Structure 1
Amino acid sequence: MPELHVGERHWSVPTGSNLLDALNQAGVAVPYSCRAGSCHACLVRCEGEVDDCQPEALSPAQRQDGWRLACQCQVSGDVQVETFDPLRDGVTAQVVATDWLTPSVLRLRVQAQHNLRYRAGQHLVLWAGQVARPYSLASLPQEDGFLEFHLDCRQPGQFSDIARRLRVGERLVLGELRGGALHYDPDWQSRPLWLLASGTGLGPLWGVLREALRQDHQGPIRVIHLAHDAAGHYLAEPLAALAARHPQLTVELWTAAELTQALAQLRLVSRQTLALLCGSPASVEAFSKRLFLAGLPRNQLLADVFLPRG
Structure 2
Amino acid sequence: MLELKELKEQIDQFLEQQMPSDIDQPTLASSMEYSVNAGGKRLRPALTLTTVQIFGGQLNQNVMKASTAIELLHTYSLIHDDLPAMDNDDLRRGKPTNHKKFGAGMATLAGDGLLTMAFQWLTDNQLPTETQAELTLALAKAAGPAGMVAGQARDIEGEHQNLTLEQLRYLHRQKTGDLLSYAVLAGGIITKQDSTTKNLLADFGAQFGLAFQIYDDLMDVVGTAKQMGKAVHKDASEHKNTYPGLLGIQGAEEQLHLALKQAKKTQKKLVDKTGHDFSAYDQFLAYFKL
For normalisation by structure 1, the TM-score amounts to 0.26
Query: Is the radius of gyration larger for structure 1 or structure 2?
Result: 1
Instruction: Report 1 or 2 for greater relative contact order, CA contacts < 8 Å, sequence distance ≥ 6.
Output: 2
